[in-house]
Chains A and B, each alone.
Chain A
Amino acid sequence: MSAFESLELRGVGRRFGGVDALAGLDLTIRAGEFVALLGPSGCGKSTALNCLAGLLPLTHGEILLDGRRIDTLPPERRGFGMVFQSYALFPHLSVEKNVAFGLQMQGVPRAETDRRVRAAIELVKLGEHARKLPGQLSGGQQQRVAIARAVVLEPSLVLMDEPLSNLDAKLRLDMRTEIRRLHQSLGLTTIYVTHDQEEALSLADRLVVMREGRVQQVGTPDELYESPTSWYVADFMGYRNILPATVVSASGGEAVVELPGTGGADGVRLTGRAVGALRAGDSVRVAVRPEDFVVAGPGAAADGGAGAIGGAVAVVEYHGREHAVSVQAGDVMLHARSATPPVVGGAVRLTAPVERVLVFPESLDAPVPQEVAA
């Protein structure tokens, strides 16, 4: 295996027609790491991956592999493997010929090719389908072929471009486990592009959240999940309630904010943990996870938490062990969880612990404090 010590992206950018599809991407990837690029469509994550692969030329910055500049090499000479969203299997070649293609390109001897192809096909558990054409396989099987085709070359880096987005929900879970298993058993350095936060959190050692061509936050799944540095990242990490608000007062890492439109003249007041420096009068966004809200009856007293928002139950959805509850509070719809189903239309109060209410500056363009060094 052609292993490396580190892959370094320095100020990598791609600008086309005056628009930055990707700008100032700095990232160092260590051997064996599984890195996920996360963001909505158009955020630049696929551009970054294609630049890394060599399928798109960079306009700014450089890519170094152990200090050697590789961004000027054509894709076929970088020695990376890639798995595509559309699988991109060669439709005229059987499964084994698809997998053997790369080895043939490298001029690997026949006997060794056969052995490695067989091993790769076994690895993805497709032994009985080896002679079939891609068109005869299901979506999940096709994606496994694509993975086998990429890993058979024992590449120094595997690039995966939303490989699971064309599969149905159950298959996606199975394949996720499969990819994790392969990564753990082969130890291949992997860069994985996805818009699915769950996929990224469960697979990756490190996440890169992107927005409009720029990095918003880099960190381990745990760091991002617990301490997002912007409401944008919080939104991706399951903070379903993101509410515009105004700071009333801020001190000692805590901020008191007013939520307009939640009833009363100025709206309800909440206390939360301030992320970044905030001053009274600042426009902010308040982020709370549904599972952090406590649904209580109208009579329950505010128990020293962040404050309480009163409202009426609008929708209750059964989710197995718990219920998803949507609460209409003035003009705002809030999302919470509850073990017991409240009565639809009934009055409730939502409370949350102060440390579970995050208050972020509204602006995303301001320099984001990088708490975690990449």
Chain B
Amino acid sequence: MAATVAPGERRLAARPSTWLVWAGMTAFGVFLLGILVAVVVDSFGRQWFATWLPEGFTTDRYAEAWDRFSLGEVVGVTVGVALLVVVISVLVGVPAAYVLARREFPGKRVVMLLFLLPVLMPPITYGIPLATVMYSFGLGRTLTAVVLVNLVPSVPFVILTMTPFIEQINPAIESAARMCGARTRQVFTRVLAPLLVPGILAAGILVLVRTVGLFELTFLVSGPGSDTLVVAIYRGMTAAGGGEARQLISAMSVIYTATMLAMLVVALRFVNPTQLVAQVKEARDDD
């Protein structure tokens, strides 16, 4: 037997640990699928108490939830706010990331810290003073306020992900463009922009997902007409009198997940987040 196990350590040692990992992953997967399927089944169920499955199935809950929580408007607000936040954070964040990646200037560390803090702080910490300011400016419960509060973590997020991405792009490429006669604007539009697209896409997708899922900040300043889906679900679950019927909430949750999944599936066709770092590395090896 010993003769067949050439690299002995692999069989003896690597196996139990690998099995343990797979067992843990399976448990995680069971929980995950259980949660997801339970919500989906519940949303289609008529009555579901002490049985494995509901007594019957219906799609009525969706229509009911759609009307009751005016989900058309809520979904519109959610997607609109998310896209707006993505566009603004990219437009504001990418130029700042460029400066941080390429330049040394007095006070750079302070600026870096300023952009790092909102990511490191719990959202409630700055969310409550920020919401207070929003209300005192009469922006409470408005869409403007919802977009503005979402920018606080999103802009630094774009800056922090794009800075290393830009650092990986050989600065000589920009010099080469200049030597070819390109002006500053042309260097940005003709050379940098196409090179930055993968990074911008990745950062944009992550901001999109975060914004749709971000509860705390939106919750503090939104109100009827400016609630996003997560906030609407939370309000439904915690409404006075024990909350809305469970199935309605489930239906709403399924709509939420479907929206999010649809966006993410589209997004993942462009980038694989775990490869973000590796891709950049390969790109560097190429040049």
- Are A and B physically bound partners? yes
Partner of A90, one of B178, B191, B283, B286: B191
**B286, A105: Cβ atoms under 8 Å?**
no
Q: A91-B283, A92-B195 are in contact. Are A84 and B172 (CB under 8 A)?
A: yes
Q: Which residues of A contact B191 (CB under 8 A)?
A: 90
**A88, B180: Cβ atoms under 8 Å?**
no
Instruction: Tell me what chain B mostly uses at the interface: helix, strand, loop, or mixed.
Output: helix
**B190, A135: Cβ atoms under 8 Å?**
no
Partner of A86, one of B172, B182, B283: B172
How far, in whole Å, are A146 and B186 apart by their CA atoms in the complex? 19
**Does B173 touch A at the CB level, under 8 Å?**
yes
**Does B214 touch A at the CB level, under 8 Å?**
no
**Does A11 touch B at the CB level, under 8 Å?**
no
Q: A82-B176, A91-B286, A92-B194 are in contact. Are A105 and B170 (CB under 8 A)?
A: no
What 1/0 flags go to A71-83 for Cβ under 8 Å of B?
A: 0001111011110
Q: Which residues of A contact B182 (CB under 8 A)?
A: 76, 101, 105
Count B interface residues, CB 8 Å: 20
A135 — nearest CB in chain B belongs to which residue? Answer: B286
Partner of A75, one of B172, B178, B195: B178
Q: A75-B175, A86-B172, A135-B286 are in contact. Are A105 and B180 (CB under 8 A)?
A: yes
**Does B183 touch A at the CB level, under 8 Å?**
yes
How far is the CB of B182 from the nearest CB of chain A, in Å?
5
How far is the CB of B5 from the nearest CB of chain A, in Å?
42
**A86, B287: Cβ atoms under 8 Å?**
yes
**Does B181 touch A at the CB level, under 8 Å?**
yes
How far is the CB of A193 from the nearest CB of chain B, in Å?
14
**A76, B170: Cβ atoms under 8 Å?**
no
How far, in whole Å, are A106 and B178 apart by their CA atoms in the complex? 12
Residues facing B in A43-90 (CB within 8 A) are: 53-55, 74-77, 79-82, 84-90
What 1/0 flags go to B162-201 for Cβ under 8 Å of A?
A: 0000000010110111111111001000110011000000
Q: Which residues of A contact B176 (CB under 8 A)?
A: 82, 84, 88-90, 146, 149
How far, in whole Å, are A79 and B170 apart by their CA atoms in the complex? 22
A136 — nearest CB in chain B belongs to which residue? Answer: B286
How far is the CB of A192 from the nearest CB of chain B, in Å?
15
A86 — nearest CB in chain B belongs to which residue? Answer: B172
**Does A150 touch B at the CB level, under 8 Å?**
yes
**B175, A101: Cβ atoms under 8 Å?**
no
B172 — nearest CB in chain A belongs to which residue? Answer: A88
**Does A102 touch B at the CB level, under 8 Å?**
yes
How far, in whole Å, are A75 and B175 apart by their CA atoms in the complex? 8
How far is the CB of A46 from the nearest CB of chain B, in Å?
11
Residues facing A in B182-224 (CB within 8 A) are: 182-183, 186, 190-191, 194-195
Q: Which residues of A contact B173 (CB under 8 A)?
A: 88-91
Q: List 18 A-B contacts (CB under 8 A).
A: A53-B175, A75-B175, A75-B178, A75-B179, A76-B180, A76-B181, A77-B181, A82-B175, A84-B176, A90-B191, A91-B287, A92-B194, A101-B190, A105-B180, A105-B182, A135-B286, A146-B176, A153-B180
Q: Contacts A75-B179, A89-B287, A101-B177 given; 16 further ones with Cβ under 8 A? A: A55-B179, A76-B180, A80-B179, A82-B179, A88-B170, A88-B172, A88-B175, A90-B195, A91-B283, A91-B286, A92-B195, A102-B180, A105-B181, A105-B186, A135-B286, A159-B179
